[in-house]
A and B are shown apart, each in its own frame.
Chain A
Amino acid sequence: MATARVATVPAKQVGAQSPGRPAPVARTRPRWRQAVTGWAFAAPFSVLFLVFMAVPVVASLVMSLTDLRATDLRHPFGVNFVGLDNYAKLFSDGLFRRAAVNTLIFVAIGVPLTIVTGLAAASALNSGLVRLRALFRVGFYLPVVTSIVAIAVIWRFLLDPGAGLVDNLLALVGIDGPNWLFDTSLALPSLIVMATWRNFGFLMVIFLAGLQSIPIHLYEAAKLDGAGRWQQFRHVTLPMLRPTLLFGGVVTGIGYLQLFEEPFVMTQGGPLSSTLSVSYHIYNQFGFGNYGYAAAASYVLFVAIVGLSLLQFRLLGSRD
């Protein structure tokens, strides 16, 4: 203890303190000491972060401008700078365009569907009519914490045309169920429904917190003005929940843009590339050894995600 005192607080400064309150020691310590202390705590993280995160982000951008292939790893001098060739190739690549369209459909339908389901669940649980709220909340949240791979396996079984629960339930009411995952027009919608099923619980929790922070007096005022339940929802709940809804939409959208595990396990991108996603395409190109090309595709995905995030800030800022 005694040595530590000498090390951190020079005697002169201790003497200068007023007796009542401890003086702001941090400001009186020499600047270089503070810098050393700060970086000593920050260094272990920063080194790992720099090597495994920050540098790869930049390296990926550089790679996307080269013709780097898996075989070049041992002969790095064979790599050529090709400018924007990879990006030009991407947009003329029919498979990438297909993957981009599939991913956009997945996001454009999946996000609203998940928001509406999550909001419905949150409103129902917040209505005060329901006891056992904790039970429903935990139940609806279960799929969110489970591995997507495991869920994809379960759903492949559920949607199986022979043994699957879905088609067998349909058969009970006399409907001849389709072969969901092997039909080019049904495979992607099946994945969208599954994603909604898995993720709405997350939005429900976020929305519940949002709903509970809406001041009660707003509802009381609306009721005095003769607003019914739907009008209260439309004119009090929705406007007050707007930032939360936007946040939930963007977080969900960012996740959905990165669709990968579901088609990998359930359809392998098929049938006829109808469930091929951008991430899956990147993974395949990586597997073929086309590193530069894969990096370019990953940057296109990155730009889409940044765009979505900026849109959120824009929309949040533009109103009022």
Chain B
Amino acid sequence: MSTVDAPVRGRDRAARAVLYAVLALGLLVVIGPFLWMLLSSFKPEAEIRQVPPTWWPEAPTLGNYRELFSRLDFPRYFLNSTLVAALVTLGNLVFCSAVGYALAKLRFPGRRGLFVVVLGMLMVPAMVTFVPQFVLVSNLGLTNTYAGLVLPFLAGPFGVFLMRQYLLSVPDDLIEAARVDGAGEFRIFWQVVLPLCGPALATLGILTFLASWNNFLWPLVVATTEDKYTLPVALALYSVGQNRTDFGLLLAGAVVVVLPVLVVFLVLQRQFLRGIATTGLK
């Protein structure tokens, strides 16, 4: 914007050309692998192995996808991933907005302490909690169940932080007015506060769904039979197992994992990037 110097127009034009060239090359390097994944997933295995490689599939085939969806149980993994992500997202929206409201707008003993503990939790890596979580979940008899996959993620610290910060900006007067009008506390939350939280809930919903969809370590440990695998677990285990050299199949699998997320991201990219720029969290 204003960092542009006015004087030398020719130099400016040259600088612009160089900048465009560099950015376009960068874009190619970033997008290229995805395009190549997509194109290659339609090639038969022999063509994938061909040296030098073909760009456009010479003998396009749906064989890789057919195998994914018939011989391997990808519809099941897709369903598992969707179900787990939906439940985790719903849980976070409900629990985090309720506690966020309490932390931002209600006075109760232990409020500060709760917030500090939750904030501290943001720093704890998944590796620290997963062994005790696993011991707990297996003692509850929940290994290899949907409950076991979902429960540890229902109440995430990030969501609390996000909702509290957002709710601090909701004017107290609105809540007080509703209280004077005689609305009960739950009714105030449901009918006055939540409708004002649209943007925050949208950001939290998108980020939580995405994190759950891409989550790997926990489902890898908890899902012990194929019927409970999520997509990343299935893809990772196939790629280190007996299918490890079957690139066509693996790339088609990667397309199935990546494509829904890319579509959602491209549709909602504005809210997405704004949310990230303001919260500073992925």
A residues whose Cβ falls under 8 Å from a Cβ of B: 1-2, 4-9, 14, 17, 22, 24-26, 34-42, 44-46, 48-49, 51-57, 59-60, 63, 73, 121, 124-130, 135-158, 160, 162-163, 165, 168, 171-172, 197, 201-202, 205-206, 208-209, 216, 219-220, 223, 229, 232, 247, 251, 254, 257-258, 260-261, 264-265, 268, 278-279, 282-283, 286, 291, 294-295, 298-299, 301-302, 305-306, 309
15 of the cross-chain contacts (CB-CB < 8 Å) are A40-B185, A41-B99, A49-B155, A56-B136, A126-B1, A135-B27, A145-B272, A150-B258, A168-B51, A168-B52, A202-B276, A206-B277, A279-B127, A294-B131, A295-B128
**What's the least CB distance linking A24 to chain B, in Å?**
7
Q: Is the CB of A128 within 8 A of B123?
A: no
Residue in B117, B135, B250, B276 whose Cβ sees the most chain A Cβ within 10 Å: B135
| Nearest 3 Cβ contacts at the A-B interface | A38-B108, A5-B182, A56-B132
**What's the least CB distance linking A3 to chain B, in Å?**
9
Tell yes or no: B82 within 8 A of A by CB. Answer: no
Q: Which residues of B contact A153 (CB under 8 A)?
A: 235, 239, 250-251, 253-254
Q: Identify whether the interface residues of A are mostly helix, strand, loop, or mixed.
A: helix
Tell yes or no: B242 within 8 A of A by CB. Answer: no
Bound Cα distance A128, B19 (Å): 11
Q: Which residues of A contact B236 (CB under 8 A)?
A: 149, 152, 261, 264-265
Give the residues from 135 to 183 in chain B that come closer than 8 angstroms, CB to CB, to chain A. 135-136, 138-139, 151-152, 154-155, 157, 160, 173, 176-177, 179-183
Q: Is the CB of A45 within 8 A of B280?
A: no
Bound Cα distance A4, B51 (Å): 76
Tell yes or no: B200 within 8 A of A by CB. Answer: no
Tell yes or no: B271 within 8 A of A by CB. Answer: no
Bound Cα distance A149, B235 (Å): 7
**What's the least CB distance linking A264 to chain B, in Å?**
6
Known: A48-B154, A260-B217. 17 other contacts (CB 8 A): A1-B183, A2-B182, A22-B173, A25-B179, A37-B106, A53-B152, A53-B157, A56-B132, A57-B121, A60-B132, A124-B19, A143-B30, A144-B282, A145-B261, A291-B135, A298-B131, A305-B125
From B125, B129, B262, give the contact of A146 (CB < 8 A). Answer: B262
Q: Is the CB of A35 within 8 A of B239?
A: no
Q: Is the CB of A41 within 8 A of B98?
A: yes
Closest B residue by C-beta to A264: B236
Tell yes or no: B78 within 8 A of A by CB. Answer: no
From A53, A261, A309, give the contact of B123 (CB < 8 A). Answer: A309
Q: Which residues of B contact A129 (CB under 8 A)?
A: 4, 12, 15-16, 19
Number of A-B contacts (CB under 8 A): 332
**A258 and B125 in contact, given A4-B187, A41-B106, A142-B262 (Cβ under 8 angstroms):** yes
Bound Cα distance A206, B281 (Å): 9
Tell yes or no: B3 within 8 A of A by CB. Answer: yes
Q: Is the CB of A127 within 8 A of B19?
A: yes
From A39, A137, A152, give the contact of B273 (CB < 8 A). Answer: A137
Q: Which residues of A contact B277 (CB under 8 A)?
A: 205-206, 208-209
Q: Is the CB of A9 within 8 A of B179?
A: yes
Bound Cα distance A12, B107 (Å): 22
From B29, B96, B157, B276, give the contact of A206 (CB < 8 A). Answer: B276
Tell yes or no: B103 within 8 A of A by CB. Answer: yes
Bound Cα distance A9, B188 (Å): 14
Bound Cα distance A23, B213 (Å): 47
Bound Cα distance A1, B279 (Å): 38
Residue in A7, A38, A148 whose Cβ sees the most chain B Cβ within 10 Å: A38
Q: Which residues of B contact A149 (CB under 8 A)?
A: 214, 216, 232, 235-236, 239, 257
Bound Cα distance A268, B37 (Å): 22
Bound Cα distance A180, B15 (Å): 35
Q: Which residues of B contact A279 (CB under 8 A)?
A: 125, 127
Q: Which residues of A contact B261 (CB under 8 A)?
A: 145-147
Q: Is the CB of A45 within 8 A of B27?
A: no
Q: Which residues of A contact B49 (CB under 8 A)?
A: 162-163
Tell yes or no: B53 within 8 A of A by CB. Answer: yes
Q: Is the CB of B128 within 8 A of A302?
A: yes
Closest B residue by C-beta to A261: B216
Q: Which residues of B contact A35 (CB under 8 A)?
A: 108-109
